Structure 1
Amino acid sequence: MNKFIALIFFSLIIFPLKTNANENFSVEIEALKLVMEKYKEDTKSNIELDVSNKKPIYMALKQDECNATVEVTEKTGLEIVSTEFFDVNVCKKEIYKVIN
């Protein structure tokens, strides 16, 4: 009986914490979704025969409640081919490419 009560008690503590994690990272998640959709559209329009296993890696950093910066790094194995930065406004669903 004690194990059953402990199971219920711990499940009530753990599950609300998991739902809060999605709320804490909602800006980053939405920014990543927007950039991934845009990035896939851009790569489909620029079809190259010499792709040689380019794989994009995405990383998001929250600035405030509506804005995030997303870094897209293309790699082929261990070699970094290119890195692009995007400023994303999640509230307005706008993406701006940062030019270095």
Structure 2
Amino acid sequence: MQEETSDELITGYPFSEYYTDLKFPLKAGVPWFNGTGEGTAKITNLSKTVKTPYKTFTNAVETTSETGYKVYYVKGVGSVMTIDQAGKVVRELKSMK
């Protein structure tokens, strides 16, 4: 489940904790604790172009965790791609229904 409030975009799992994906207002370089075991994250780009199997997104928000994972978010869609510290795509959007 993802939920967007006026303060943050969060992801929650049944019978588990929730994780802070984005803090609002969006501002590059401001770190926050994301609760995923990745430590802190920060926005490193506010206007990335991200190509997924589904489509190419412009103006994606890039976050980078202190362990080097990059996650890309698109307004109205959510997370569209995750890249690990070695540069390998570990999650990407393939379709929407």
Give TM-score scaled by structure 1 length. Answer: 0.35
Greater share of residues in helix: 1
Higher RCO structure (Cα 8 Å, ≥6 apart) = 1
Q: Flag the structure with larger Rg.
A: 1
Give TM-score scaled by structure 2 length. Answer: 0.36
Greater share of residues in strand: 2
